[in-house]
Amino acid sequence: MKNEENHCCEDKKIALDKYLQIGSGIGRGLLAIGESPALNGWMKSGRAFYTTEGKIVPTGRNLLINLKQINSGLDLNNIYFTEISKCYIGSNRKRLINCAAKTWPHFIEQINYVKPKLIILLGKKTTEIFNKLAGTNLVIGNIQQIDISGNLFNFLPIYHPSPLNPKRKLNAGFIDANIIEINQLIV
């Protein structure tokens, strides 16, 4: 597959399970949300955070550290996971907000289907997009409860766990500062 854009957001109707990993066990209480499908992950392997060879990508390894910090039973394979935008945007990051806006109803449908106890937004950009489209003011590192379509959901935005993001190391402190509330929510 070439490193080119995939504008699935141009589709009229997107299947509910499009870029939705289903949680199990303790992971059923947690939904992690990324920016958009990654080439070396969803697009090639059909799985978030894994290569076609079944190896965890570096971003996944960093997220796994944070998940284990929350609860040793959490794993990349047992949490719910989706993307705020359903389009692979390649290097054209200018399209991210437009694609997310076009797939927003689908994204909200996924949240209402999953009904997670805690939603972790991965990254400043994901949080900015969510805030703009939901009309909220979520802050990195703080748990806040937000009403979505008449349902209350708890959100914890953190920095993107990419190894290229030096701020990802602050996520451990955010989790520590909120660990009691996090465990009350997902257990």
Q: Do 160 and 169 form a contact (C-beta atoms < 8 A)?
A: no
- The H or E element spanning position 155 is strand 151-158
pLDDT, tens digit (0-9, with 9 covering 90-100), for 33-42: 999 887 777 7
pLDDT band, residue 18 (cuts 50/70/90): confident
Residue 78 is assigned to a structural domain of this protein: yes
Residue 110 is assigned to a structural domain of this protein: yes
Report how far Cα 178 is from the mean position of its chain's Cα atoms: 18
Letter for the amino acid at 114? V
Domain total in the chain:
1
What is the extent of the structural domain holding 161?
A: 23-186
Q: Do 110 and 62 form a contact (C-beta atoms < 8 A)?
A: no
Q: Is the pLDDT of residue 2 over 50?
A: no
Query: What CATH number does the domain containing 91 carry?
Result: 3.40.470.10
Residue 10 is assigned to a structural domain of this protein: no
Residue 5 is assigned to a structural domain of this protein: no
Residue 49 is assigned to a structural domain of this protein: yes
Assigned token pair, 7: 């504008």
Alpha-helical (H) ranges within 36-89 are: 44-45, 58-70
133 Cβ contact partners less than 8 Å away, ≥ 6 residues apart? 100, 101, 104
Residue 79 is assigned to a structural domain of this protein: yes
Q: Do 176 and 71 form a contact (C-beta atoms < 8 A)?
A: no
Residue 17 is assigned to a structural domain of this protein: no
Q: In the prediction, which pLDDT does 3 show?
A: 43
Q: In the prediction, which pLDDT does 17 show?
A: 84
Residue 4 is assigned to a structural domain of this protein: no
Rounded distance, CA 183 to CA 187, Å? 6
pLDDT, tens digit (0-9, with 9 covering 90-100), for 124-160: 999 999 999 999 999 999 999 999 999 999 999 999 9
Rounded distance, CA 52 to CA 75, Å? 19
Pairing of strands 118-122, 80-83: unpaired
Cα dihedral 14, 162, 170, 93, rounded to 10, equals -60
